[in-house]
Amino acid sequence: MNTDFDYGNANDEQRRAITTTEGPVLITAGPGTGKTFTIVKRVAYLILEKHVEPSSILVATFTEKAAKELITRISSELENHGVDFDPEEMYIGTFHSICLRLIKEHIEFSNVRRNYRIADSFDQQYLVYQNLWSRFKKLPHFADFPLQRTRSWDICEKICSVSNAATEELLDVEAMFASNDVAVIACAEVIEEYNDLLTECNWLDFAHIQLEALHLLEYHPCVLAAVNNQIRYVMIDEYQDTNFIQERLTLLLAEKTGNVCVVGDDDQALYRFRGATVRNILEFPEHFVSCLRIDLTKNYRSDPGIVSFYNEWMEHTAGPRFRFDWGKYRFEKQIVAQRAANGKTETVAKVDADMDDWPDAVCDLILGLKEHGCIKDYNQIAFLFRSVKHANARMLADRFEERGINVYSPRSNEFFGRDEVRLIFGILLLLFPRYVEKLQQGQFPFLDEGTMHYYASCIMQANELLSKDENAELRRWIATRGRAHYRLMENTDYNLSSLIYQLFEFEPFRSILDTPLNTGVHDQRAVRNLSKLVGITGKYEYLQRVNILTIDRINSIVEHFFNTYFRFLRAGGINEYEDETEYVPSGCVPFLTIHQSKGMEFPVVIVDSLYDTPRKTPDDALQQLKDRYGSRESFEPAEDIKWFDFWRLYYTAFSRAQDLLLLTHPETSRRIGKAFEEPYEQLPSVNAATFPYEAFRFQAVKETDLKPSFSFTTDISLYEGCSVQYKFYRDLEFTPVRTAATLFGQLVHQTIEDAHRAALRGETDTITAENTDSWLLANYSTLSKAQHAYLSDVVIKAAQRQVRHYVERRQGRWDDIIEAEVEIGLSKSDYIIHGTVDLVEGDGDTVDVVDFKSERKPDVNHDYEELETYRKQLMLYAHLIEEKTGRKVGRMRLYYTGEEAGNPEITFSHDEDSIDSVTQEFDDVAHKIIQKEYGARATNGRLCENCDFRFYCKY
C-alpha cells in the first residue's frame, strides 16, 4: 500500500476501498460510514497515484446535487495537491447527464435527432393528453387497457407509467403483441404508440435518455469500442437505487477493463416506485468470476444509542401481528458506532400527547430547545414524514407558523395556496371577464368543486387588493385590459406570460421582486414562486404554441389554460423552490419526506408517520407485465416486498439522526402502526417540562459546499451588461418571453459543426455543397420543431450560402482541425469556469482558437465594445485550452460567415501579458455574482428594449 498518498482519516476498510482499483469491487456503505469521503479519495488516488487521466474515469450518482458535491470535493482534493482539474474532462454526473453526454458525442449514430427536447413527467403526461382522443383511444384494443381510474388525466398517467416500465425494464413488446390476453395487447399498442409519438416530436423522456445510450453501446460496436477505450474506470454511487437498464449500462461501460466499482447500501433501497431494484447490488458479484466486497460499517455520524436502535429495527422482523425473514434479500451487516455515548441521558425517545394537545406539545419542546441554548438555529431539527402532504404534517406546520417557528417544506403542495400565486391567478381571471362570465354561468360543468372554489377565492383576494386606494393605477390597468379582451378588435402583441411580467410594474409584486437574494429561502419564497409561475405559464404557451393572444384564439387559449392545463397542474401539485447550495435554510425547521432526507444528517431528527403500515404495490397489472415480459425473472417474493420496503424506508429515517432521535405520534383513534408498536412502547417519553436540556448542546448542521459554475457568455457577459437581468434570468430563473432571433445563427452553426465532425471522422469526401445543404435542412427540421419558430425559404437559402462559402474557403484543408465544439473547464478555489470552443485547429504544438458568428463582419472602428467582449472571451478560452492540452495558442480568430466578399476573419494575437487582467476581471465578476450583488442596471438602452423586466424597471 502506498504510504505517501494522503488518506486523511480513512480507516482500514476505507483505505482498502480507496486502493483497490482494479477489477470488480462492491462497496457496501452503511449510514454515516464516510461513503462520499471514500469515493472522493478513490478518484484522487486514481489520478494522483495511478496517474489515470480524468477523462478515463466515470462516476455516476443519483441526484444533481450529489453530483455537484462530488465535483466540488474532488476538485478541492486535487487542488490541495496542486493539480488543476477540468470537470468537463471526467464523466461525472447523474446517469441521465452521462447518458446525454454519450448521445451528444455520438449523435450521428443515434436514433434521436439533434435539438431534441427533454420531457419531464408533466410534459410526458400532457403530450399523451393532447393525443389521447386522436391517437390512443383509437387503438384497436384500447378499451381493454387496464385502468383503475377513468378520468382522462389518470388515464394519461397510466399510459406513461406503462411506457416508462417498458423502457426501464426492457419489456419484450413483440411478445406482448403475440399474447392471447387482450389487456396485454392493449398495453403493447399503447407502448408502441407512445414511442412513435416521442419519435415524431423528437422528445426524450427520462427513461428513453438511458435507452438511447444503451442502444448506442449495444447496436453500434464502433461506439462501444470508442467508449471502452476512453473510459477505463467506472464508479457507480447509490447502486441500490439503479434499475435494470442502468445495470446494463454499467456492465457495458466496464466491459473491456472490468474495472467497475459500485457503492451503495441495500438497507437504504427506497426507489422501487421509480423502477429501481435492490437486486442490482445484491446480485452484482454474480456477474463476475471474482468480485471483491468491502463493507464500510463504522458509523461516525450517530450516537451509539441511535445506532443500536436502527440496528435492532433491521433485525427485529417479527412481532405479535407480523413476521418476515430477510433471507438472501439483504447483506448481513452490523453498523458499529464510533462516537462516544452521550452518557447523560437516553438519545432515542418519544413525544406523545392527545391529538388536541399534540401540536402544542411538539412546539413547546422545540421552543424549549431554543430557549435553553440546546440549538442555535431551528434548522438543527428535522421532521421526517412519509408524506408532508398528510394532515398531521399540515396541522403541525400551521401550528408552528402560528407560534413564530418558520417551516421549510417545499414539497408540501402549498404552492397554489401562497398569497402571491393566488393574487396573480385572481388578476389573470379578472383580465379575462368573458371567461369569468362563463364560469359564473356554469358553462364548464366538468370543472370540479375544488377548482371552482379556488378560482372564486383567487378573484376575491385580488378584489380585496384592488379595493385599496393605493392600488388605483393597477385597478385602472386591469379594467382597460379586461375591456379590450372582452371584445378583442385586433391581435395583441403579448401572451399570458407577458401579462404577468406587466403586472410587475405594480405593488405588491414590485416589492416582491426587490427581495435581495442574500437572504434566506423563507424570505425569497414569494419571488421564487413568481418565477415558477411564469415558468409554468411559459410551458403552457410552448406546448400549445401560444405566441400572442389573437382575435380567433383568445377564448380557447384562456379556457384551455384554466380548464385543463392549470387544473391538471393543481391536481398534481407543484414543489416550491429548494436551494441546493444550502443544506437546509437557516431559521426554519425542515419538514422533509423520508426520501427527501436521504443522504442528509441532522443533530435532532423527529420521525412522524407512525400510523404507517406496510402496503402492497397497488398496480398488480403492471407488475405482471414486468414478470411475464421483462428481461429477467422476478427477484424478491411478492408477499414480502411490502415488508422489505417498509423496513428500509424507516431505517433510512432513523439513521439520519446524529445526537437525538425522537419518534412522535398523536394519541388518536387511529392507532400506531403495528410495526412500530413494540419499539415505540419501550421508548421513554419526553416533553418540554421533562426534557433534560442540560445534556445536549447540538452542533450546527453541516454546510453544503457546492462550487457554482460560470461561463463567459451566459454569466459574465450577461452580468456585465445588466446585473438586474442576471438576477432575474440566471439566479431566479425567470423564463424569458421575448427571446432573440437565434434560429438562423444556430442553423448555420450546427451545420458547420456537422462538417467539422465529418472531417474528424475522416469523411472529408462527404463535405460537399449538396450534403451541407441536406445537413442544414435536417437541422432546420429539428430546430424549428423544438423552438416552434420558422424561417422563410429566402432566409434558409441565405443560411445555406453561408455554409457553402465557409466550405469553399477552406479549399479542402480539413486536416488541421484538431477538435470541434470543445467543452472546457477549470476548477478555481470557489467556482468553476466552463465554456465551449467552436473550433481548435493548427499544426504541431501551436493551435488557433476559432469562434463563429453568423453575421456580417463588423466595423472594427465603430464596434469596439462588442469586439472587446469577444476578445476577452477568446482570451479566456485560449487560456483554458493551454491549461487543458499543454499546446500553445497562437491566434484567436472570429469567423463571420455572413461576410461574402472580403476577408471573413478578425484575428487577435494571443497576448500572454494580458491574460492575467482578463482572468482577474472574470474572477471579480464571478465573486460579485457569488455575493449576490445585483444593484447595477444596464447603461445600454438596447438591452432594455426587449427585456421582460422593463415594466418593473420603469421607476
> Helix, strand, coil: what percent of the chain each, to 5?
50, 15, 35
Does the annotation list 33 as a binding residue? yes
CA pair distance 189, 893, nearest whole angstrom: 54
Does the annotation list 320 as a binding residue? no
Handedness of CA 619, 624, 630, 636 (dihedral sign): positive
Helix (H) or strand (E) holding 124: helix 121-130
Does the annotation list 778 as a binding residue? no
Does the annotation list 664 as a binding residue? no
Does the annotation list 888 as a binding residue? no
CA pair distance 924, 768, nearest whole angstrom: 46
Alpha-helix runs per DSSP H in 635-714: 641-654, 677-682
Termini Cα distance of the chain: 68
Q: In angstroms, how far is CA 834 from the centroid of its own chain? A: 19
- Going by C-alpha positions, the residue among 111, 278, 301, 127 that lies closest to residue 208 is 111
CA pair distance 655, 650, nearest whole angstrom: 8
**DSSP state for residue 659 in the 8-state scheme:** E
The answer to whether the bond into 508 is cis (omega within 30° of 0) is yes
**Quick check: 25 and 310 in contact, CB under 8 A?**
no
CA pair distance 19, 7, nearest whole angstrom: 10
Q: Which residues contact 418 (CB under 8 A, 6 or more apart)?
A: 525, 526, 529, 576
**Quick check: 364 and 688 in contact, CB under 8 A?**
yes
Joined together, the cell numbers standing for residue 628 give 411475464
Q: Which residues contact 831 (CB under 8 A, 6 or more apart)?
A: 707, 708, 709, 710, 926, 930
- Going by C-alpha positions, the residue among 28, 532, 64 that lies closest to residue 291 is 28
Cα dist from 836 to 387, 417, 822, 904, whole Å: 42, 42, 5, 21
Q: What SS3 class is residue 828?
A: coil
Burial (CB count <10 Å: 0-12, 13-18, 19+), residue 518: exposed
Does the annotation list 31 as a binding residue? yes
Please state, as a whole number, how many other Cβ atoms lie within 10 Å of the Cβ of residue 118. 13
Give 375-378's long-range contacts (Cβ < 8 A, gap of 24+). Answer: 375/603, 375/604, 375/698, 376/700, 377/586, 377/587, 377/700, 377/701, 378/405, 378/406, 378/587, 378/588, 378/589
Full DSSP string of 8-40 = TT--HHHHHHHH--SS-EEEEE-TTS-HHHHHH
Does the annotation list 36 as a binding residue? yes
Q: What SS3 class is residue 66?
A: helix
Does the annotation list 30 as a binding residue? yes
Owner of C-alpha cell 378560482: 455
Q: What SS3 class is residue 99?
A: helix
Enumerate the known binding-site residues for ATP. 29-36
Enumerate the known binding-site residues. 29-36
